[in-house]
Amino acid sequence: MATVNITLALSSTDLFAKQTLSFTETDILSPAGDKQLVGRVITSGSGTKDNLAPKALDGANDAAYVFLHNTSTATNENVKIALCAAHGTDSASGDWFAVLGPGEFMFMPVGSSTGFQDIDLEATNGNPVVEYVLMEKA
């Protein structure tokens, strides 16, 4: 069975005036569903949604982990992120929950148990490239 080691570390000595921030979270995931994907999307440009729709996550406990990374280095090439309520459909207008700036990334669980299926990406400017990894849970 495949495993994925996840580590998130946040630390700062000067973010808060009277408190040091320091914590590390680790986990070992065992994605074993029928979809494990890695790829990249060259976004279509401002005003056009690009959809990551690998398959319907329609089982009662069907879920996946998703990693997204905006690889652009241009200061104005942001990518808006939205989740779609049904497989093969677009997200609702203005339903963006995150914006990845150049070089930024995110890691999150998605799936039918959360009420979301596919992922929409929309560039604010240019055609930034978004790398992705989707790992379906068993």
- Delimit the domains of the chain by residue range: 31-136
The hierarchical CATH code for the domain 31-136 is 2.60.120.10
Which residues have a Cβ under 8 Å from the Cβ of 40 and sit 6 or more positions away? 71, 129, 130, 131, 132
Structure tokens at 27: 């986990």
Beta strands, E only, the chain: 4-12, 21-29, 36-42, 50-52, 63-70, 79-83, 98-100, 105-111, 119-123, 129-136
* Residue the block writes with tokens 């339903």: 95
| pLDDT for position 61 | 62
| pLDDT for position 110 | 78
Alpha carbons within 13 A on the beta-carbon side of 103: 3
| pLDDT for position 118 | 77
pTM for this one? 0.84
CB atoms within 10 A of CB 107: 12
| Three-class SS state of 113 | helix
| pLDDT for position 1 | 73
* Residue the block writes with tokens 């849970």: 137
Q: How far apart are CA 66 and CA 138, in angstroms?
A: 14
| pLDDT for position 73 | 96
| pLDDT for position 60 | 58
φ/ψ of 91, rounded to 5, equals -70, 160
Which residues have a Cβ under 8 Å from the Cβ of 16 and sit 6 or more positions away? none
pLDDT-flagged residues of the chain (< 50): none
- Residue type present at position 114: T
